[in-house]
A and B are shown apart, each in its own frame.
Chain A
């Protein structure tokens, strides 16, 4: 049989199709990829021998070899009979049947209808597989601006600034739980509702979670409650925090100097802000700056900023700090009315030139701190007492000052003010610090003894000594007796004042002129005990508990109360080695000096230099009080 094989080829760039006819002879014809096939279909998707073609009446028949598929009408089939005009597909080739031509028994057409895909084009560049950088950038920019700026700002601008008093209250109230507060969306919904349905407009949210992203650093512990209440301190946008925000809570804060004049003096107005020294958003316990630089920035060379100053420069406790200058009584004068007027001065503790304090007290510390014990006096003269510093000096609760010495409590056990002439049984206790009363008591005693008679004292008037009870005393005898009693009292008083009782510890002076009754006027100088030696500093005995008192206060060798037992700065520097020293006890300014001193006024009208006067007055008052 003869087959007409017509190869159709579409010309590129046109619709023309060329026909090339080949005549094949045989019973059946092999169709496939193989180069030795009758009908060669050169494509790898076609099997080597894909199908066998035979001519059948009215057309051709294609039988797949070994199950090779022939695609007819979109379905894969094992064998197909093609009538003229029908087509099937094998791989990229279309096989068609044409009407039987005259010169052969059948005709098939073969046309490659699709070009075998060579290589698939995969993404070649990173730009083909990633989203556009421009779009990505816009998304990120918008996300950042909305999340970090617009969202928090919307609530900040909507809400009204709190009034200062509510800030104080708010600062003490724990912040509302995040879950309990209305968020931005809740507020918006409520706002739209109030617009459409009427009713009250919602309050702006107090705080959005995104606002916490604005915190430039952690709050200090004491201000942690304000972390969600930015406007408590930041009262107005684009304005540094003002003192009024701080003083809303800290109105009671005391001041060491007038901050405004401080700023003027340094010609640095920014120093008048609380924030000049107190830095928040840096964590820590409180925004109190411990570093000495806060003070030494100016005080290291104070004349440079304040030429008129009388203050000494301080750069570092160990390197440059003036010697301690205790406040002490350097002299005592007497006022016109007879009261004592102490002279109070500050003087440096120079070991070469020991200070002398005129407290008026006679008190040898060494005797009272005798290792072998201290012999008692008067009724306890047969006993020996072990005394130490704490026997008299007890630290106050604040640790700073010692409890004031009280004669009756601290000295009176041994130093009893007992007036007991030899031959009477009943002793009389004399009042402390009341010389006039003492004189009266002593005079009264002798007068009474003379008048009651039976006085067994050598040299006593005979009438007073031998008169029997009940006998009336003659006027002459009475006068003579009282004269004698007065002399005796004066003698006794001289002894009491100068030697035995008062004179034991105090200096007593007899006035040049007797009083109207002819009696000597005695003045006993009260002990002007210094209570606060260094009032410009603050010393806590508490942390120093492990040290012996005498390691700072040389009491065991002090023979006189005129010794000033305050330690000089060198003692402190043994441990407080300065801020720059590695192993050192704290040496910052604030370790001893407070800026806001409790004893002083509230943060109130400026007082500047007047403060020094006030302090001096306060010191005098303290001294005067201990004098009485």
Chain B
């Protein structure tokens, strides 16, 4: 077995198979039982599906907490993650059949909607964890963030030094390039866009300025400066992309986690209400 096995394929898709069988069982139970008044959560199969769903929800939530604290090896964490993902997806079938496809503007459907929000955000998380690590390493092409940041400070120093040999108009561009930032607000972090990168703008402006130079020594300095601008723009774009990948791998948790807690609260209300007014 290779050293790296995706959590999705853990133990030859053990949890995929188990969840699949569970869904099949649930579908058969739902189809076979045709109670008076139609299939819904208030029938015996309905209660069974609801109880099963609630147990899975609580267990998966507990896993989410527990997983972080596992001191055990990678295999165990991978196994739990695999179970978390596949059982979580099976909840779509279990809870939908529990509802008997009856939805309305009520706390019961709210619990369902919250659960779906948790599952879908989780599904995005799976997508992110499958997709972005590879893109991140491709993006960094073997270099480290710290290394790129160090190189960028060196470039900044070089630009400052070069500006001493060039007219003020170049210094203005250096000033602009120094403004180049990685990260920022929510949308900037997520998009990782370098469309208005100051370093790139400075490079373009400096290229025009350099054409106007006559002094050979200054031309040489300007050429050197252009190269530094270009390199800086490139590094900045990479770092931004890196941040955006990290942000994508994180952002779904802001739906997944709070919605899970909201789901547990609403689920508690749901269970209480249906038996309070039995």
Q: How far is the CA of A531 from the CA of B243 in the complex (A)?
A: 89
Given contacts A44-B171, A217-B40, A282-B40, contact A293 B34 (CB under 8 A): yes
Contact B37 A282 (CB under 8 A): yes
Considering only residues 233-258 of chain A, those with a C-beta below 8 Å from chain B are: 234, 237-241
Interface segment, B2-10, B70-78, B179-187?
B179-187
Q: Give which listed residue, B36, B243, B250, contacts A289 with CB less than 8 A.
A: B36
Contact A238 B275 (CB under 8 A): yes
Q: How far is the CA of A238 from the CA of B268 in the complex (A)?
A: 15
Q: Give which listed residue, A117, A126, A240, contacts B247 with CB less than 8 A.
A: A126
Per-residue 0/1 for B150-188: is the Cβ within 8 Å of any A Cβ (1 yes, 0 no)? 001100100111011111100100110011111111101
Q: How far is the CA of A118 from the CA of B277 in the complex (A)?
A: 65
Q: Which residues of A contact B181 (CB under 8 A)?
A: 119-120, 122
Q: Which residues of A contact B40 (CB under 8 A)?
A: 217, 282
Q: How far is the CA of A293 from the CA of B106 in the complex (A)?
A: 30
Shortest beta-carbon distance, B174 to chain A, in Å?
Answer: 5
Considering only residues 331-385 of chain A, those with a C-beta below 8 Å from chain B are: none
Q: Which residues of B contact A287 (CB under 8 A)?
A: 37
Given contacts A44-B178, A145-B265, contact A216 B42 (CB under 8 A): yes
Per-residue 0/1 for A7-50: is the Cβ within 8 Å of any B Cβ (1 yes, 0 no)? 00000000000000000000000000111000010111101100
Please give me the residue from chain A that is nearest to B103 by CB atom: A217
Contact of B62 with A by CB under 8 A = no
Number of residues from A at the complex interface, CB < 8 A: 62
Per-residue 0/1 for A101-128: is the Cβ within 8 Å of any B Cβ (1 yes, 0 no)? 0000000000000001111101111111
Contact B268 A213 (CB under 8 A): no
Q: Give which listed residue, A44, A139, A144, A281, contacts B266 with CB less than 8 A.
A: A144
Number of residues from B at the complex interface, CB < 8 A: 66
Contact A127 B250 (CB under 8 A): yes
Q: Which residues of B contact A141 (CB under 8 A)?
A: 261-262, 264-265
Contact A133 B106 (CB under 8 A): no
Contact B37 A133 (CB under 8 A): no
Q: How far is the CA of A291 from the CA of B102 in the complex (A)?
A: 19
Which residue, A148, A213, A282, A293, has most C-beta atoms of chain B within 10 A?
A: A148
Q: How far is the CA of A394 from the CA of B167 in the complex (A)?
A: 115
Contact of B259 with A by CB under 8 A = yes
Contact A145 B269 (CB under 8 A): yes
Given contacts A126-B186, A144-B269, contact A240 B278 (CB under 8 A): yes
Contact A279 B185 (CB under 8 A): no
Q: How far is the CA of A47 from the CA of B278 in the complex (A)?
A: 82
Contact of A230 with B by CB under 8 A = yes
Contact of A550 with B by CB under 8 A = no
Contact of A140 with B by CB under 8 A = yes
Q: Give which listed residue, A43, A217, A241, A291, contacts B36 with CB less than 8 A.
A: A291
Contact of B253 with A by CB under 8 A = yes
The 5 A-B residue pairs whose C-beta atoms are closest, nearest first, are A279-B37, A140-B262, A137-B261, A122-B183, A144-B265
18 contacts between A and B (CB under 8 A): A42-B160, A119-B153, A122-B182, A125-B189, A125-B243, A133-B257, A136-B254, A136-B257, A139-B258, A141-B264, A149-B268, A213-B105, A214-B277, A215-B104, A217-B104, A238-B276, A277-B36, A281-B42
